[in-house]
Amino acid sequence: MAPNAVDYSWFNDDRFPDLADSYCFTLVRDLTPEALMTRLGANVEAVSRKTLDQLIDASYSGPGPLGTWDGHLFGAASIGGWVLMVEVNGHLGVNRKAIVPLSAGTRLVSHSRNVNAVGHFRWVEDGEIRLSFDPLFPSFRHGSAPDELVEMMRRVGFGLGDDIDRGTHDQAAFALAEHLTGVELTPQLLEESTYLCGLAPRSR
């Protein structure tokens, strides 16, 4: 059975109040957290391994003014044959300058949203962006294969054409990412993983 937006209804403000409104999740095949750090030119933090709650706290209480960091703070954890990169109020995983080289020789799938509900979904194969769109506006797609996943997008819950978006586009992005990676994210997986944390250069 194909994944569906309903499967990800747990990702909401009640369960993850400091993450659901502004996040970025990135999955990269056949990389370790350490290899991810290297590809992104990131420095591993002195207290380098954190729980999700600690990563969230660190993201909002950085060393700079107003809790900012001089770079992109993120956490990375191995999940099967993939590495999961989690950003709180970040966007490195959907930044074209970062993900094109990061995906060299492999597959990368990422999705994000910010506090203004602006989001991104990226599917990248060995430096080639196959699909790129805002989950809120899935009919406006870009990339080298913008229509390859149209039927699957409908099946996972995106409103396309005359379909009605019932406010589950963020959850549909999780389901489409699962279709492309085979990785099912669960609240337990997010909460129980330990994340190697790094700081990628702000120039990206």
Joined together, the tokens standing for residue 170 give 């963020």
According to DSSP, the β-strands at 107-113 and 43-50 are unpaired
**pLDDT given for residue 153 in this prediction:** 96
What's this model's pTM, rounded to 2 decimal places?
Answer: 0.94
Residue 185 CA to chain centroid, in angstroms? 11
**Distance in Å from the first CA to the final CA of the chain:** 38
- For the chain, give the longest Cα–Cα distance: 51
Joined together, the tokens standing for residue 200 give 């990628």
Instruction: Name which of 81, 82, 70, 76 is nearest 38 in CA terms.
Output: 76
List pLDDT tens digits, range 15-46: 999 999 999 999 999 999 999 999 999 987 65
- Residue range(s) defining the domain that contains residue 126: 5-200
List pLDDT tens digits, range 79-131: 999 999 999 999 999 999 999 999 999 999 999 999 999 999 999 999 999 99
Joined together, the tokens standing for residue 164 give 């009605």
- CA 91, 94, 97, 103 torsion-angle sign: positive
Q: How many folded domains does the chain comprise?
A: 1
